[in-house]
Amino acid sequence: MVAAAESFLAEHWSPDVDRRAWRERVVDERWAALRWPGEWYGRDLSDDDAEAVEAVFAQAGAPGPGQDRYNLWAGTLLAHGGDELKQQFLRPLLLDEVAMCLLYSEPGAGSDLAAIRTTAVRDGDEWIVDGQKVWTSGAQGADYGMLIARTDWDQPKHRGITFFWFPMRQDGVEVRPLRQATGDARFNEVFITGARVPDSHRLGELNQGWWVLQTALTYERAVMGVTQRRSEGSGGATAAAHGRIPTPDTSLVRLAQELGRSDDPVVRQDLTRLHAMRTVNEWNGQRAKAVADAGGTSPLASLGKLAMSGILHFAGHLQGELLGMEATLDGDQSPRARDANYSQLNAYFTSIGGGTDQIQRNIIGERILGLPREPEVDRGVPFRDVTRS
């Protein structure tokens, strides 16, 4: 397969190729999701073979493979969607032609997603949805959302939830932006009133949406680790806005050199510590990926996500330490300080989004370390009888 990849690249790839046409060719010739089945844009490769092909693409500087590991939307749909839904959406998702969002968290059901109260009621071949979601990234431009809704109030909270591929562009869906401390407005409130979703857009079995959600959350935590790793370090805000994001090691090393602090033994130790933290977390990510590629889910993704939160907070702190008193400034007149402040504030995005640090610690304690589970006073209780906080 390596030889086939080399031949494909030799024939079709060049740095000045039209990127849109290139992406279509990669998807249609089944190089984008190497571990997936052949009938769904994949090549049925083992993890070792897929990594070998990915290395060939990387060496050539050609984008393309890897969507089987990090495309949250397509991966969840492939695992749990019906054939009709996959035929309709998989290719557009691989081509990034469908804008998506996650309709999970609610007021009162953020860390405990199983406590959701958004309701879906069956009406023939459709479901009528009513409720509110919050902290929804990208909702203002989304075509569809991955929605969890309660479909049976007489079951315990984890067992009465169903997972839907929800159309966002319809009457009854209102999106309101939420302003963050960084000045961005990447999150939103979503109010759903009498909106509809076809039953054919259901992922997984009725009332079994919690287990579909676990697949989606595993992808999300892996994606957040990759995204945040790329945006970590000085220059994050400015570089990300222009699509040029430096790696954390080189960006902070360059800043230390620029400030004349690269020979400071404490600075050098902190830079090395940051590099070691990131490297170890990448090894952990490879372990989690191996489990996912084998068709399972792993709490190792929680370990990686928690570690990435610590890495980003440490990197932001180090960036401020390097600048010293300059870090107290802000605004376009002080771009280095502006980027340092942005990095420190934006680190909380990873500590909260995709499951808070506290939730990850619970998962790690229970599922990796084998510690006793937290008390669940509502375990086995029909959700309609659960006391509201």
The H or E element containing residue 23 is: helix 19-28
Do 361 and 259 form a contact (C-beta atoms < 8 A)?
no
The H or E element containing residue 129 is: strand 126-134
Q: Left, alpha or beta for 33 (phi > 0: left; psi -120 to 50: alpha)?
A: beta
Do 33 and 253 form a contact (C-beta atoms < 8 A)?
no
Q: How far apart are CA 134 and CA 102, in angstroms?
A: 10
Q: How far apart are CA 299 and CA 287, in angstroms?
A: 11
Structure-token pair, residue 33: 């999701």
114 alpha-carbon distance from chain centroid: 19
Q: Is 54 a catalytic residue?
A: no
- For the chain, give the number of residues: 389
Q: How far apart are CA 20 and CA 18, in angstroms?
A: 6
The H or E element containing residue 144 is: strand 144-150
The residue annotated as part of the active site, out of 29, 39, 97, 220, is 220
The 3-state DSSP composition of the chain as helix, strand, coil percent (nearest 5) reads 50, 15, 35
Do 231 and 245 form a contact (C-beta atoms < 8 A)?
yes
Backbone angles phi, psi at 281, to 5 degrees: -70, -30
Residues acting as catalytic residues: 220
